[in-house]
Structure 1
Amino acid sequence: MKEINKLLKLLEDVESIELENFKIEVDSLELQLMPVIKEAQKVVEERKEKIEKEEKIEFEPPIKSYPGKINEVKLGGGKNRKEIRLGGQKALYRFEEPQPNPPVVTFDVFDIPMPGLPRPIREHFEDVMDDPGEWAKKAVKEYGADMVTIHLIGTGPKVMDRSPKDAAKDIEEVLQAVDVPLVIGGSGDPKKDPIVLEKAAEAAEGERCLLASANLDLDYKRVAKAAIEYDHAVLSWAITDINMQKTLNKYLLKEGLSHEDIVMDPTTCALGYGIEFSIDVMIRTRLSALKGDTDLQMPMSSGTTNAWGSREAWMKKDEWGPTDYRGPLWEIITGLTAMLCGVDLFMMLHPLSVKLLREVANTFTKEYLTADHDDISNWITQLE
């Protein structure tokens, strides 16, 4: 008995014991846990009583008021086309003030079949990839697209070198196929894009499309002139540089475009591939605008499709999980991040990504602080 008491004395300050090569032989074993359970219940009761006695503290959100405002840009509305408005915010976050217009998602469509599209996207559009009009129609009719972005990739000199006239025919076909506003993108070739966009703008005269894009590496004056002549807006694209964005916007304004004719694209880096640079530029751009910088008081656009350039989005690797979910999630998180930084327009590829981001976007016009929510103030007492 003395040995047992001595052993218990040694174990008084020990929190845990690890036994090696331990073996015990008994006829029967009885465990008495009730004292432990009762002690736990006592702790919970004491904590509950303490919480009930504490004074409730009301949360005060850090709401700010700003002297500046983001200009509204209207897209669509021509003839029998639906109208969409971007921008109009007076605050950065919706808890400060709900947005007057929800962020908008536009479905990416191409003028030629895209064999390089990842399987999770391609399987949704394989039956229409030969026809941009049918591709756009499927995006609207089956997947509820609010807008469509037609990328004239085939006009690229190193792709198919299709003519500006061919591009204009594709634009006409898409306009006849759907009644939503369009974003018209080129191939990325700095010499040919202004010519292609000029012809496309003429084909879509009066339909108030967004010409994508004008940047400092191409003849932005020609793009601006076409937008003014045929009543379109212009996407002002700068590569994650707020000063470059300001300069380009100033140039476009000097060419005769108004603040209501310009949407900015500060460049979207994908999740895991520099998204922190995009976050920095997007927030600084929006805050500068709200503080009164008139050269930056335009809505912002995100090429969220860039998420599919990340190998984690499409590469088959079983330990990373199925690409059917991994790819859309990569695109969704990239888009959601940009949305929380003030972006208004999202160019996306996967139907599931589009659907989910649209649902989130629609909440941005609602009064968040006064909305009905479940009471979770007693969450800690649910331990019992």
Structure 2
Amino acid sequence: LPSFVREHFKDSISDPSEWAKLRVKKFNAEMITLHMVSTDPLVNDTPIKEACKTIEDVLQAVKVPIIIGGSGNPEKDPELLEKAAEICHGEKVLLSSVDLDMDYKRVANAAIKYDHSILSLISMNPDEMRRLNRNLMNIGVKEDHIVMDLFTGGVGYGIEYSISAMERCRLAGLKGDKSLSMPIASATSNAWSAREAWMKNDEWGPRELRGPLWESITALIAMLSGADLFMMLDPSAIKMVRIASEYIFGKEKPSDEFEYRSWIKI
């Protein structure tokens, strides 16, 4: 994480359960995403049992919904998500994620058995997303237990492809395609992979403002393209997107006065 983003979280960043509590209590997070990156054999190869202890700690620490993500390793993630589904029985978590290059049937069966939802991940390809979702539903996963992630490229890093994929899926769903009618998730924190978001460069302006701008604009673009759920990092960017969402979709304007010309100061 960039140092100026770390400042929001201080020492809690070393303890997932404390970090989750801080996110909820101080920054009003409506959902927590837990990525078990350390389980990847190329990172720390953390044992599944140890990873599950972390998941249990976070479940006890917060009362908001939780997304449990693997490391992205197609060999280890099915085992991890299967075990996570078991220990989270009764909590209704979102298992993230499954794709066509892994044993998604194993995760799907665990989700069915323990009544969880699944995040299906396909990189910017509505046709492949349709195929994966149909396969999941054929296994027995309910339509309303699937969330789609078509991958969100940050501003300047492929977001135009994300726009196209999200819009195609959303429009197909509205026209009656049940295999593409699910909610769309956007991993908006991908915006921080752009060096323009965090690199120190006086000509680009202060990065403490530039970074949140990069993430929030990425989220707003995804929102206008059909995304429903946003996995974000910077607290000020999250606040801005929440207020903008209330203005766009809310029945009443939010109580906080919103000055669009100086929103980054909130």
Using structure 1 for the length normalisation, give the TM-score.
0.64
2:29 counterpart of 1:121: no
Structure-2 separation of matches of 1:156 and 1:126: 26
Residue of structure 2 in register with 1:357 after alignment: 241
Q: Does structure 2 conserve the Cα–Cα contact (< 8 Å) formed by 1:120 and 1:327?
A: no
Pairwise CA distance, 1:295? 1.0
Change (3 A) 1:140 1:367: closer
Task: Identify the residue that residue 202 of structure 1 maps to in structure 2.
Answer: 86
**How far apart, in 1, do the equivalents of 2:248 and 2:90 lie?**
30
Alignment of 1:224-235 (within 5 A): 224-235=108-119
Post-superposition Cα deviations, 1:109-145, rounded to whole Å, max 9, x if no partner, equal xxxxxxxx11122121231122110000000011110
What residue number does 2:73 align with?
189
Give the structure 2 partner of residue 137 of structure 1.
21
Tell me, yes or no, if structure 1 residue 268 matches structure 2 residue 152.
yes
Equivalent residue letter for 2:58 = V
Q: Give 1:263 deviation, angstroms.
A: 0.3
**Helix, strand or coil for the counterpart of 1:277?**
helix
Which residue in 2 is equivalent to 1:342?
226
Higher RCO (C-alpha under 8 Å, 6+ residues apart): 1
Question: What is aligned with 2:105?
Answer: 221
Deviation of the 1:364 alpha carbon: 4.1
Q: Which moved more, 1:275-284 or 1:120-129?
A: 120-129
* Deviation per residue, 1:154-196 (Å, 9 max, x gap): 1111111111111111111001110000000011111001111
CA distance in 1, matches of 2:42, 2:29: 30
* Whole-Å separation in 2 of the counterparts to 1:353 and 1:291: 33
Distance 1:363 1:196 in 2: 39
Task: Report the AA paired with residue 155 of structure 1.
Answer: T
Query: 1:244 Cα deviation (Å)?
Result: 0.6
Letter of the structure 2 residue corresponding to residue 161 of structure 1 = D
Q: What is aligned with 1:77?
A: none
Match of 1:236 among 120, 131, 138: 120
1:355 partner amino acid: K
Letter in 2 for 1:350: D
C-alpha distance in structure 1 between counterparts of 2:146 and 2:27, whole Å: 28
Q: CA deviation at 1:362?
A: 2.5
- Greater C-alpha radius of gyration: 1
2:170 to 278, 286, 300: 286
Partner of 1:58: none
RMSD: 1.1
Equivalent residue, structure 2, for 1:295: 179
1:277 to 147, 154, 161: 161
Amino acid at match of 1:149: T
Corresponding residue SS for 1:227: helix
Q: Distance in 2 between matches of 1:215 and 1:362?
A: 32
* CA distance in 1 between partners of 2:134 and 2:168 (Å): 18
Aligned residues: 252
Contact 1:302 1:346 in 2 (8 A): yes
Shift of 1:363: 3.2
Aligned-partner residue type, residue 134 of structure 1: E
% same residue: 54
SS in 2 for 1:273: coil
**TM-score, normalised with respect to structure 2:** 0.92
Alpha-carbon distance, 1:361 to partner: 2.0
Unaligned runs of 5+ in 2: 253-266
Q: Secondary structure at the match of 2:155?
A: coil
Amino acid paired to 1:169: K
1:156 aligns with 2:156: no
Whole-Å separation in 2 of the counterparts to 1:244 and 1:118 = 34
